[in-house]
């Protein structure tokens, strides 16, 4: 009995010391460098760490190797440098937002984060993750000054969102093999080159405004594969056999789509307003579970293996291709609405949007019955809806 009498207060005291030193699971709020220095004997901080927005200049998290929670800073626009010389792991989100004067991150040992979520860090040029993050559930990097993603070397990732980084010239995520959520690139530097040499599978891959894309290993996507507003002339995915929706839209210089192994599109297949695309050939494409909707200025369209289109079929071009083969399919291979038109002045998509950025499009005066639909679903709606979905996701992600 006597032992317990003395031991309990001792234990309580020990816990109190522990709590004061390294957190007790509650959020640790840091208002100054000296607040931080109180923790520099802690290998592990128990709980979330929040860097107050009043922090200034260089901020250093000394000693700590692991944060068993999130590391967050919102609106700390006077922090110029953020270092954590020993930090290896952040269990939850590493979230930095609105650090408008941050020029340097120095996290030489960091290799694992729950999620990485950076937004509005406009003059940060490099990540400063010397060892490199090899483990992250998701990555979102929006509106930073980064010129590369050196420091991120993941084998697998959930969401991977890289948008509005106007200095980002190259992305080479060499190790990435598998993504289990959306990969999205949009609005980065106009000549962004993306190399995903080992990416074999993923869910959705959406790419806007880039100058080259290399996906030599890509075999299968569960969801959408889409390319909008890019400047590359050629897109090749030699090993891709299957994708969800497939979209090529508004790629002004695209003249060659090479998908020699593509067999199945589990959704719709849209090709429109790629004015330099003269020839459309998918030698192995057999099944499209949605609609085929190709419009533009092509002189050749060849789908020799096509067996089953569960949705409609719309093929319209200013060019002189042959509808002959397709006409013979309309009652068996194609299950939805059928339309094929060569040498038309105003090719349109099946929803009536203009199929070519040089023609006058769905609002032309040739009396075609596509015109009415044009007002309902305009060309602009499609990317806007996609963007809204993405920003919606980002929002959830931030909250």
Ligand X SMILES: *[C@@H]1O[C@H](CO)[C@@H](O)[C@H](O)[C@H]1NC(C)=O
Site of interaction with ligand X (CB under 6 A):
53-54, 75, 77-78, 156, 178, 180, 182, 190, 201, 204, 208-209, 216-217, 223-224, 228-229, 234, 236, 239, 244-245, 250, 256, 258, 267, 320, 383, 389
Q: Is the CB of 204 or the CB of 344 nearer to ligand X?
A: 204
State the minimum distance, in angstroms, from the CB of residue 307 to ligand X: 21
Length of the chain: 399
State the minimum distance, in angstroms, from the CB of residue 162 to ligand X: 14
State the minimum distance, in angstroms, from the CB of residue 214 to ligand X: 10
Question: Are the C-beta atoms of 276 and 296 separated by less than 8 Å?
Answer: no
State the minimum distance, in angstroms, from the CB of residue 6 to ligand X: 48
Helix (H, G, I), strand (E, B) or coil at 53: coil
Cα–Cα dist 289/250, whole Å: 23
Question: Are the C-beta atoms of 45 and 62 separated by less than 8 Å?
Answer: no
Helices (runs of H) and strands (runs of E) counted in the chain: 5, 35
Q: Is the CB of 75 or the CB of 85 nearer to ligand X?
A: 75
Q: Is the CB of 28 or the CB of 342 nearer to ligand X?
A: 342
End-to-end CA distance of the chain: 51
At 295, which helix (H) or strand (E)? strand 292-296
Helix (H, G, I), strand (E, B) or coil at 323: coil
Residue nearest to ligand X (CB): 229
Q: Is the CB of 109 or the CB of 167 nearer to ligand X?
A: 167
State the minimum distance, in angstroms, from the CB of residue 156 to ligand X: 5
State the minimum distance, in angstroms, from the CB of residue 15 to ligand X: 35
Dihedral (CA of 358, 360, 361, 366) sign = negative
State the minimum distance, in angstroms, from the CB of residue 258 to ligand X: 4
State the minimum distance, in angstroms, from the CB of residue 53 to ligand X: 4
Instruction: Check residue 361 and report its DSSP letter.
Output: G
Q: Is the CB of 44 or the CB of 256 nearer to ligand X?
A: 256
Q: Is the CB of 371 or the CB of 377 nearer to ligand X?
A: 377
Q: Is the CB of 69 or the CB of 244 nearer to ligand X?
A: 244
State the minimum distance, in angstroms, from the CB of residue 220 to ligand X: 8
Neighbours of 12 (CB within 10 A): 10
Question: Are the C-beta atoms of 262 and 236 separated by less than 8 Å?
Answer: no
Q: Is the CB of 120 or the CB of 126 nearer to ligand X?
A: 120
Residues 6+ apart with CB under 8 A from 375: none
Calculate the alpha carbon distances from 322 to 179, 300, 317, 328, 397 in Å. 40, 7, 10, 12, 48
State the minimum distance, in angstroms, from the CB of residue 384 to ligand X: 9
Calculate the alpha carbon distances from 181 to 137, 201, 202, 205 in Å. 10, 10, 7, 9
Q: Which two tokens stand for residue 148?
A: 């590369």
Question: Are the C-beta atoms of 273 and 300 separated by less than 8 Å?
Answer: no
Q: Is the CB of 209 or the CB of 346 nearer to ligand X?
A: 209
Q: Is the CB of 87 or the CB of 292 nearer to ligand X?
A: 292
Dihedral (CA of 266, 295, 389, 257) sign = positive
- For 14, left (φ over 0), alpha (ψ -120 to 50), or beta? alpha
CA atoms within 13 A on the CB side of 304: 6
């Amino acid at each position: 009995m006597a032992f317990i009498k003395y031991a309990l207060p001792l234990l309580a005291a020990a816990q109190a010391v522990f709590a004061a030193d390294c957190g007790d699971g509650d959020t640790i709020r840091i208002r100054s460098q000296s607040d931080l220095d109180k923790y520099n004997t802690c290998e592990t901080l128990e709980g979330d760490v929040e860097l107050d927005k009043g922090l200034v200049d260089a901020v250093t998290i000394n000693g700590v190797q692991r944060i068993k929670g999130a590391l967050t800073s919102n609106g700390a626009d006077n922090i110029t440098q953020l270092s954590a010389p020993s930090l290896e792991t952040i269990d939850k989100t590493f979230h930095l937002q609105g650090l408008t004067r941050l020029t340097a991150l120095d996290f030489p040992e960091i290799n694992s984060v729950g999620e990485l979520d950076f937004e509005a860090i406009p003059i940060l040029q490099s990540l400063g993750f010397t060892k490199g993050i090899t483990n992250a559930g998701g990555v979102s990097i929006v509106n930073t000054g980064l010129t590369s993603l050196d420091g991120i070397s993941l084998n697998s990732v959930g969401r991977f969102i890289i948008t509005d980084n106007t200095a980002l010239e190259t992305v080479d995520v060499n190790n990435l093999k598998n993504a289990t959520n959306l990969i999205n690139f949009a609005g980065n530097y106009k000549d962004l080159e993306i190399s995903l040499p080992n990416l074999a599978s993923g869910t959705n891959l959406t790419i806007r405004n880039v100058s080259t894309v290399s996906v030599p290993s890509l075999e299968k996507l569960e969801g959408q594969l889409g390319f909008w507003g890019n400047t590359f002339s050629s897109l090749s995915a030699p090993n891709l056999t299957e994708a969800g929706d497939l979209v090529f839209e508004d790629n002004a210089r695209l003249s060659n789509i090479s998908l020699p192994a593509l067999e199945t599109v589990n959704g719709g297949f849209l090709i429109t307003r790629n004015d330099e695309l003269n020839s459309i050939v998918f030698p192995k494409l057999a099944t499209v579970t949605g609609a085929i909707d190709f419009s533009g200025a092509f002189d050749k369209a060849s789908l020799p293996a096509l067996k089953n289109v569960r949705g409609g079929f719309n093929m319209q071009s200013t060019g002189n291709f042959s509808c002959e083969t397709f006409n013979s399919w309309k009652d068996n291979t194609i299950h939805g609405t059928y339309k094929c038109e060569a040498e038309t002045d105003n090719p349109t998509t099946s929803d009536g949007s203009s199929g070519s950025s040089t023609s006058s499009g769905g609002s032309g005066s040739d009396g075609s019955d596509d015109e009415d639909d044009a007002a309902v679903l305009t060309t602009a709606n499609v990317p806007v809806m996609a963007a809204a979905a993405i920003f919606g996701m980002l929002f959830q992600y931030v909250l």
